[in-house]
Structure 1
Amino acid sequence: MTDFHAVIAGKKEAGGRARTVLNPATEEPVGTFPECTEAQLDAAVTSARKAYLHWSETDGEVRVRALRQMADLIESHAQELARLLTLEQGKPLKGRGSEFEVQACVSWLRATAGMSLPVKILEASEQSQAFLYRKPVGVVASITPWNWPLLIAIWHLAPALRVGCTVVVKPASNTPLSTLRMVEILNQALPAGVLNVVSGNIGYQLPEHPGIDKVVFTGSTPVGRTVMRGAAGGLKRLTLELGGNDAGIILPDANVPEVIEGIFWGAFINGGQTCGALKRLYVHESQYEEVCRSLTQVTTSMPMGNGLDEDNLFGPIQNQGQFNYICELVEDARQGGASVLCGGVAPQGKGYFYPLTLVADVTDEMRLVKEEQFGPVLPILRYTDIDDVICRANDSEMGLGGSVWSSSIEQAKSVASRLECGTVWINGHGAVSPHVPFGGVKSSGIGVEFGIEGLEEYTVIQSMHIPDH
């Protein structure tokens, strides 16, 4: 086991009592991390506020070089970070697992370094001039989840640092170790205090801390509401990327053999533990049996096990609470008359392993459809009428993503435009890009990440009027 520390002002701090992180594949300890104290939380925020005075005034090219150096540092420590991520999160090293996540961190940093927010000329007349400036919002609190711990931390801190903010990161207590180590590595490229990290339950006080100017949170909708309440007293800026219950609609003209692999990975990447994963699949009755048969063939061929075994493409569910919830949802569907096509029974032995599971003959009223399962289970629903299935897909408090699968792009676009979600994919599901804004509607969040629009979320506007004398 390895002991990890909070990083405040570029220095390690042990904190209060040590807490243990378990490997979800073996249920054995991986390492320990500190339950930070209130004094350490205050120290981290104070450190960020002090550093902000200088970092916010730093030339943009200096910040660009820092982000590029951060990318180089992660790349040089990729093997170490990927292994640690697998040990605490469970995802496999290979395939679309830990190595993929670490490399995505590198790519995102470099892409964000290439973005800028130039001054806008709003008026240039004989009477006056007007300009719009984007200024950094201040000190940012970043609260990250356990499913993509490193990548989502980078999604938060890269744009913040790029525009001149300073950051205090609070990783999920299920997966803090890789983030603690990454922040320690990244601080080699940054002045002291620009990037800080605290761990443990005390971090949930960040949204209401008077020294925080903006909160960015990725996680469940119920916790997002708590974060929003905490930030409300100080009227803090917010970006919330919350839960999703993404619907995918296969149109009757779709070529099933051509789309089936994309549907599989859209649903099961990271074992389904992704906010923007495909979580409800609607199939026209004319192709229902073919889709069920084809998906079953693909799903049952995928190896699952300890992520350190390079032959495995899927690992365990990250924690016991989520494991128990998945078991509960599948059993509820089974008791309600649904048919389990594959999986559906957890194996005996150590680890929070739940097999990739397909559930057919489900109804919209079942919990497996109405709730976000966030695990390796996909319900498959029948439909007969396009207008009806669009209404069913939209009948959710969530609105993160959705997808339409068809041989006709124009027909798919027509259906996609009617889905109530922040992002919609055609003949794919879940792909994100650093240059394309991503965010939810309804209870799936507030604000956007990525692209210029995401960069702007870390700024405040200042308009400047200059009379022409």
Structure 2
Amino acid sequence: MQDFDDIYAHVPADIPAWIEGLSLAMTIDGADADPVALVDVIHACDEQVIAQSPDAGLHHVDQAVDAARAAFPAWAGAPWTERRNLLETFADRLWDARVTLALLIAAEAGRPLRRAMSEIFFAVDYVRTIAAQELAETRYELGPMRARLTHKPLGVVGAIAPWNGPVILAVAKIANALLAGDTQILRPSPFTPLSALYMGMIARDIFPRGVFNVITGDAQVGAAMTTHPRIAKISFTGSTATGRLIAAAAAPTLKRLTLELGGNDAAIVLPDANIDLLCDAVYRISLENAGQFCACVKRLYVHETVYDAVVKGLGERLRAARPGSCFDAATTMTPIQNRKQFERVWHLIDDAVDRGGAILCGAQRHGGAGLFVPPTLVGNVDHGVALVDEEQFGPVLPLIPFRDEEAALRDANRGEMGLGGSIWTADVEHGLRLAERMECGTAWVNQHGAFSAALPMPFAKQSGIGTDYAQFGVAEHSRMMLVNARL
């Protein structure tokens, strides 16, 4: 992670007043769109209102579609290099605005400011990496026939982004669609609208009017986008349950879909694993960010010979976590972003204990303000307990000892989700062989959640539809066309 300690010198004395001074607005056809109302944005570190966000009505969906459709022919006809260059300019402008964007993420998501700044760093890299992708033409010669396969833009694309990565999970959707030649309507999560609104305002001076639009709103707005007959595709990141609803709603219009859904990733720790490497990674990826990452370790299968060492190593790291204001450099613990999810995480902990689970570390209720759940390890649980069977999306990790690696692999492959998984071992070749047998879209050896926009992100089981990132994410925002001539 980059060293962004100097970011704390930029924290305004009055955050709500500073946000109000930004005059954040929805972007439709390159201009402000008047909201139907203002809605409160709650700061997870203290549950106080930190800002008010414009709220869209259903008519804003139609307005945004009209603007995007009007802009589509010229944008689709623009040279690939022109679209690429504008995306690179967008990345430059995001980096120039990194302090503002990081402060907005911290405010709306409650994330410690250093981690918020890290999200901007990776988001800018994602835009630049995706902008560099190509969709090559394929030529065929079959006797007297000469054919070529090309990629054509789809039209208007709807993007629905989640609250756990309000910038990085939005910009990948933006870059994929705009590079492919589509125009786009982005609807951020109603929990974290601020950074997306600001990105929309940045984009006005870069892209032609109507190419990129940002509207806010609740599930009704998302549903209107999903069923809209003039939106050609929906790209969604969120829960599997919501993904099922989107797939069903999109079926009557046969929309293209890219769905990055839930994960219940398993990690298998073999006897020869590097325990320090494992514990550092699990804490950083799965617990420090309060488990609010789709592809983090959510089930930890540990060989019985190293089980105690793993509990000890993780416990040392967990006990050092510090809750507090996200604008304080001493804070390392991230709160749960919203109260509904906060209550669900505690329910999973209480349910596990009621079913015989043992708290190995954590689980003390935070006495101060904010939606903090201390990083928690739970032992003596197995399949049949909700904490193991379901995606917790919180800083609570079940540790399950095993003796036989084949049995551990079978247990890791249980369930309906298949986003990611990992094997931890000093024998990398053996780890690779086991990883290839994991039923997931991405399997790692001696790492977890290590993504790059230069690498594809496939999905398995009910963790998603389609493939994201690299040239595959761009291709999913296009349609193939074959032109065939007889000589």
Please state which band the TM-score falls in when normalised by the shorter chain. Answer: over 0.9
Deviation of 1:293 after TM superposition, in Å, equals 1.2
- 1:269 deviation in Å? 4.7
- Render the CA deviation track for 1:240-292: whole Å, top value 9, x for unaligned: 00000000000122132343212322322522101101000000111111111
Q: Does 1:103 align with 2:108?
A: no
Are 1:203 and 2:221 an aligned pair? Answer: yes
1:164-313 alignment, distance < 5 Å: 164-201=181-218, 202-204=220-222, 205-313=224-332
Q: Which residue of 1 aligns with 2:434?
A: 415
Match in the other structure for 2:163: 146
Alignment partner of 1:71 is 2:88: no
Residue by residue over 1:45-64, the C-alpha shift from the partner in whole angstroms, topping out at 9 and shown as x without a partner, is 11011101110000111101
- Counterpart-to-counterpart distance in 1, 2:250 and 2:391: 25
**1:149 to partner: Cα distance:** 0.7
CA drift at 1:412: 0.5
* Equivalent position SS for 1:21: strand
Distance in 2 between residues matched to 1:126 and 1:216, nearest whole Å: 40
- Contact persistence 1:4–1:32 (CA under 8 A): no
SS in 2 for 1:347: coil
Deviation at 1:313, TM superposition (A): 2.2
- CA shift, 1:392, in A, is 0.5
* Distance of 1:226 and 1:147 partners within structure 2: 20
State the alpha-carbon separation in 1 of the partners of residues 277 and 173 from structure 2. Answer: 35
**2:339 is equivalent to residue 320 of structure 1:** yes
8 Å CA contact 2:106, 2:116 repeated in 1: yes
Identity %: 37
Offset at residue 128 of structure 1 (A): 2.3
Q: 1:447 to 1:269 in 2, by over 3 A?
A: farther
Task: State how far apart, in whole Å, the 1-side matches of 2:162 and 2:277 are.
Answer: 33
Counterpart for residue 56 of structure 1: 76
Deviations, residues 412-435 of structure 1 (Å, cap 9, x unaligned): 011111110000110010010011
Q: Does the 8 Å CA contact 1:405/1:427 hold for their aligned counterparts?
A: yes
Q: TM-score, normalised by structure 2?
A: 0.93
> How far apart in 1 are the matches of 2:279 and 2:465?
32
Match of 1:161 in 2: 178
Deviation string for 1:17-56 (max 9, x for gaps)?
1111011112111211222112211000110111011100
SS of 1:278's partner is coil
Question: Which deviations, in whole Å up to 9, do the C-alpha atoms of 1:69-96 show, x marking residues without a partner?
Answer: 00011011100110011011011111xx
Query: 1-side partners of 2:288 and 2:184: how far apart?
Result: 29
Partner of 2:40 in structure 1? 20
Structure 2 portions without partners, runs of 5+: 1-15
Query: Does the CA contact (< 8 Å) of 2:302 and 2:400 recur in 1?
Result: yes
Aligned equivalent of 1:112 = 130
Distance 1:159 1:361, change over 3 A: same
Q: Is the 8 A contact 1:92 1:313 kept in 2?
A: yes
1:427 aligns with 2:465: no
> Shift of the alpha carbon at 1:307?
1.1
* Alpha-carbon offset, residue 126 of structure 1: 5.6
Where does residue 102 of structure 2 map in the other structure? 82
SS at match of 1:146: coil
Return the letter of the residue paired with 2:126. Answer: W
Cα distance in 1 for partners of 2:339, 2:367 equals: 14
CA contact (8 A) 2:259 2:466 kept: yes
Residue pair 1:306, 1:315 contacting (<8 A) in 2 also: no
Worse-matched range after superposition: 60-69 or 345-354: 345-354
Which residue matches 1:121?
Answer: 139
Is 1:359–2:400 an aligned residue pair? no
Find the counterpart in structure 1 of residue 6 from structure 2.
none
Any idea what SS the aligned residue of 2:381 has? Answer: coil
Q: CA deviation at 1:362?
A: 1.5
- Aligned-partner Cα distance in 1 for 2:313–2:58: 54
Q: Which runs of 5+ in 1 are unaligned?
A: none
Q: CA deviation at 1:369?
A: 0.5
CA deviation map 1:325-383 (0-9, x unaligned): 01100011111121112211221232111111111121221111011000111110011
Q: Secondary structure at the match of 2:46?
A: coil
Q: 2:154 aligns with which of 117, 137, 141?
A: 137
Partner residue in 2 for 1:9: 29
SS in 1 for 2:439: coil
Q: Is 1:460 aligned to residue 484 of structure 2?
A: no
Pairing 1:349–2:368 present? yes
- SS of 1:340's partner is strand
Distance in 2 of aligned mates of 1:190 and 1:32 = 27
- The one-letter amino acid paired with 1:144 is A
CA separation in 1, counterparts of 2:367 and 2:277? 36
- Cα pair distance change 1:87/1:181, threshold 3 Å: same
The AA in structure 1 aligned to 2:29 is A
Is 363-372 or 309-318 further displaced after alignment? 309-318
Q: Match of 1:246, as an amino acid?
A: D
Does residue 42 in structure 1 map to residue 62 in structure 2?
Answer: yes
Per-residue displacement from partner, 1:148-197 (whole Å, max 9, x unpaired)?
Answer: 01111111110110010000001100001111111111222100000001
Amino acid at match of 2:301: Y
Letter in structure 2 aligned against 1:250: V
Instruction: Determine helix, strand or coil for the equivalent of 2:93.
Output: helix
Q: Which amino acid aligns with 1:113?
A: A
Distance across 2 between alignment mates of 1:9 and 1:463? 33
Q: CA, structure 1 residues 269+56, in 2 after alignment: closer, same or farther (shift >3 Å)?
A: farther
Per-residue Cα deviation, 1:210-247 (whole angstroms, up to 9, x for no partner): 11000000000011111111111100000000000000
SS of 1:189's partner is coil
| SS of structure 1 residue aligned to 2:83 | helix
Q: Is the 8 A contact 2:31 2:204 kept in 1?
A: no
Instruction: Give, in angstroms, the shift of residue 14 of structure 1.
Output: 2.2
- Deviation track 1:399-449 (CA, whole Å, cap 9, x = no partner) reads 000000000001101111111000011001001001111132111010011
In structure 1, what residue type is equivalent to 2:196?
A: T
Partner of 2:8: none
Q: Is this contact kept in 2: 1:292–1:360, CA < 8 A?
A: no
Moved more, 253-262 or 78-87: 253-262
Separation in structure 2 between the aligned mates of residue 200 and residue 119 of structure 1, nearest angstrom: 39
**TM superposition score normalised by structure 1:** 0.97
Q: Residues 127-147 of structure 1, C-alpha deviation per residue, up to 9 Å, x if partnerless?
A: 221100001111110001100
